[in-house]
């Protein structure tokens, strides 16, 4: 059974339960709800405006009975300047300049580099909803959900130290994992993974070039 064709969703192209869940959010949030996406039988997403982030949590918990908090995190959509695959030019030569790729946002689109994602779950309908929200590039600040979900405390602290996104209204926004004086935000795409800079990926060394692939491949060995 793949998730796309499990017993109760066999051949389903329209997912009425999730469509309804998303529609409820869209109605309650009004203009703050920018975009919705339903993957039939599997999952659903909504994207809210930056101002509507806190309102989305309030609507979810108090009006629509999404009482379970899964997680809150941030996605950095900037393509990594160090290359994504293990055998890119950037990994072979640390000084090489990366091609600048355009940002490719996920399912509900987006306009900013940083995007927050929170997931809430309803135990009544058994549907989880992913709530996404653009974080303004200039301020990198978002309202905290802590007045709605107390458990968001550590999630927001982790997002703060890893991505440098601040949450207004959070009572103790300080590092969770990292030492207090650590500088930088490790999960940002432009934060280099130093292990790879110090020693290149050993997999590259193991690959022997085929005799006919390069001009100098045969002569060197």
Contact 140, 164 (CB under 8 A): yes
- Residue 214 binds another protein (CB under 8 A): no
Among residues 84, 137, 204, 214, the one that binds another protein under rule CB under 8 A: 84
* Tokens 């109760």 belong to residue: 8
Among residues 31, 138, 181, 208, the one that binds another protein under rule CB under 8 A: 181
Residues 23-82 that bind another protein (CB under 8 A): 42-43, 45, 61, 67-71, 73, 75-76, 80
CB 178 to another protein: min, Å? 6
Nearer of residues 91 and 143 to another protein, judged by Cβ? 91
Among residues 3, 94, 184, 209, the one that binds another protein under rule CB under 8 A: 3
Closest CA to 130 of 198, 58, 38, 220: 38
CB 138 to another protein: min, Å? 23
Residues 6+ apart with CB under 8 A from 162: 74, 185, 186, 187, 188
Contact 97, 90 (CB under 8 A): no
Q: Is 47 exposed, middle or buried (0-12, 13-18, 19+ CB in 10 A)?
A: buried
Contact 53, 116 (CB under 8 A): yes
Nearer of residues 203 and 218 to another protein, judged by Cβ? 203
Nearer of residues 12 and 193 to another protein, judged by Cβ? 193
- Residue 198 binds another protein (CB under 8 A): no
Q: Is 98 exposed, middle or buried (0-12, 13-18, 19+ CB in 10 A)?
A: middle
Query: What DSSP designation does 20 have?
Result: H
Using CB under 8 A as the criterion, which residues of the chain lie in contact with another protein when the complex forms?
1-8, 42-43, 45, 61, 67-71, 73, 75-76, 80, 84-86, 104, 106-107, 117, 119, 123, 126, 128, 130, 149-151, 153-155, 162, 175-181, 186-187, 193, 196, 201
């Amino acid at each position: 059974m793949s998730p796309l064709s499990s017993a109760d969703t066999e051949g389903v192209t329209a997912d009425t339960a999730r469509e309804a869940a998303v529609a409820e959010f869209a109605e309650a949030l009004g203009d703050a709800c920018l975009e919705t996406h339903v993957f039939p039988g599997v999952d659903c997403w909504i994207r809210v405006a930056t101002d509507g982030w806190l309102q989305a949590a309030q609507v979810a918990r108090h009006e629509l009975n999404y009482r379970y908090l899964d997680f809150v995190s941030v996605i950095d959509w900037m393509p990594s300047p160090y290359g994504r695959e293990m055998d890119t030019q950037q990994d072979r030569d640390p000084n090489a300049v990366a091609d600048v790729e355009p940002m490719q946002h996920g399912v509900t689109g987006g306009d900013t580099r940083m995007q927050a994602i929170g997931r809430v779950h309803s135990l009544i309908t058994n549907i989880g909803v992913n709530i996404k929200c653009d974080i303004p590039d200039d301020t990198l600040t978002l309202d905290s959900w802590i007045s709605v979900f107390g458990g968001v405390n550590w999630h927001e602290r982790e997002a703060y130290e890893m991505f440098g996104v601040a949450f207004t209204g959070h009572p103790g926004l300080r590092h969770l994992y990292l030492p207090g004086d650590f500088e930088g935000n490790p999960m940002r795409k432009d934060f280099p993974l130093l292990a790879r800079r110090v020693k290149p990926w050993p997999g590259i060394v193991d690959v022997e070039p085929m005799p006919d692939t390069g001009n100098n491949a045969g002569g060197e060995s």
